[in-house]
Amino acid sequence: MPRHFISLADHTEGELRSLIELARMIKANPPAFSTACAGRTMALIFQKPSLRTRMSFQAGIYQLGGQGVILGPKDIQLHRGESIADTAKVLSRYVDGIMARVYAHQDVLDLAESSDVPVINGLTDFNHPCQVLADLQTVQERFGYLRELKLAYVGDGNNMAHSLLHGCALMGMHVAIGHPAGYAPDPAVVARAQAFASSSGGSVLVTEDPAEAVDGADAVYTDVWASMGQEEERDQRIENFRGFQVDDALMKRARPGGIFLHCLPAHRGEEVAASVIDGPRSVVFDQAENRLHAQKAIMVKLMGSRR
């Protein structure tokens, strides 16, 4: 198990399966883990506001017997007044772990490089590994397994697409990304996912046709068209993403027992139809709950054995 949790691509299939199994055990019997991080303190850095990330980490560390200290933009200013390296070194003297939800992926890499304690990537502009670990847990709960399932992601080739490519390919799944022209995922991420898939028995498809991506899918996933920090692009993105809404017609291309996922928050009527996200195939609130259990598993693995 790596010392930090920065990208799913840093892990083996076995390590991810172990984390998912630990998350399942924690979810099934929370009291058994109520002292797993007793006496531990985690610094929770937020450049970006959050509902699920903040609540799942803050509640999670508390439920494991530790405590979290929130450091928002007004409490800590990365790059301004103090270097990231100095920030990491100082925090390492005070806490047992650091979670950072930031804009630039390099900030998390720099924190990890200078930190003496585990660093967890709570989200960057490049990837979102905590979310996808919870997503994989959610899909496994529904089907009982992951290998050979097909997950289709429709929308921007963004941080979510990157982590889904890494995570699904590592787990032997068939992952398809359907994106508008000009919004493809990073080619380097796609290439690495293809390498993972060649070893795991999965496959990778990247297409500008959402119907092709969703055909035969066991799970259909989408995300907002304009993420935080892209507000000025919103109107243009809405125009460019026309035809990429996950609606009832698109969901019919998935398998009859296929499920719908969304990392939330959702914009009904844009990237997803209300009839889909609020319909019987939606598991979005199971996903949201599993952020708590999956992140508790990460904290137990990285911090639970520290003395």
Cis peptide before 187 (omega within 30 of 0): no
In contact, 271 and 245? CB cutoff 8 Å: yes
The three-class DSSP label of residue 205 is strand
Helices (H), 2-104: 13-28, 52-63, 84-94
User: CA-based Rg of the chain, rounded to a whole angstrom?
Assistant: 19
Residue 156 to residue 165: CA distance in whole angstroms = 13
Active site annotation includes 11: no
Residue 175 to residue 185: CA distance in whole angstroms = 13
Catalytic residue chosen out of the listed positions 128, 166, 174, 293: 128
> CB-based contacts of 23: which residues, under 8 Å, 6+ apart?
133, 134, 137, 290, 293, 294, 296, 297
Number of H helices, E strands in the chain: 12, 9
In contact, 97 and 299? CB cutoff 8 Å: yes
Of 251, 246, 185, the C-alpha closest to 215 is 251
Catalytic residue chosen out of the listed positions 96, 125, 156, 223: 223
Report how far Cα 210 is from the mean position of its chain's Cα atoms: 22
Backbone angles phi, psi at 84, to 5 degrees: -65, -40
Report how far Cα 214 is from the mean position of its chain's Cα atoms: 20
Active site annotation includes 291: yes
Active site annotation includes 223: yes
Catalytic residue chosen out of the listed positions 52, 263, 287, 295: 263
Active site annotation includes 281: no
Catalytic residue chosen out of the listed positions 162, 291, 293, 295: 291
Catalytic residue chosen out of the listed positions 131, 137, 287, 295: 131
In contact, 37 and 300? CB cutoff 8 Å: yes
Active site annotation includes 168: no
Catalytic residue chosen out of the listed positions 4, 54, 101, 293: 101
Structure tokens at 290: 């599993």
Active site annotation includes 101: yes
Catalytic residues: 101, 128, 131, 223, 263, 291
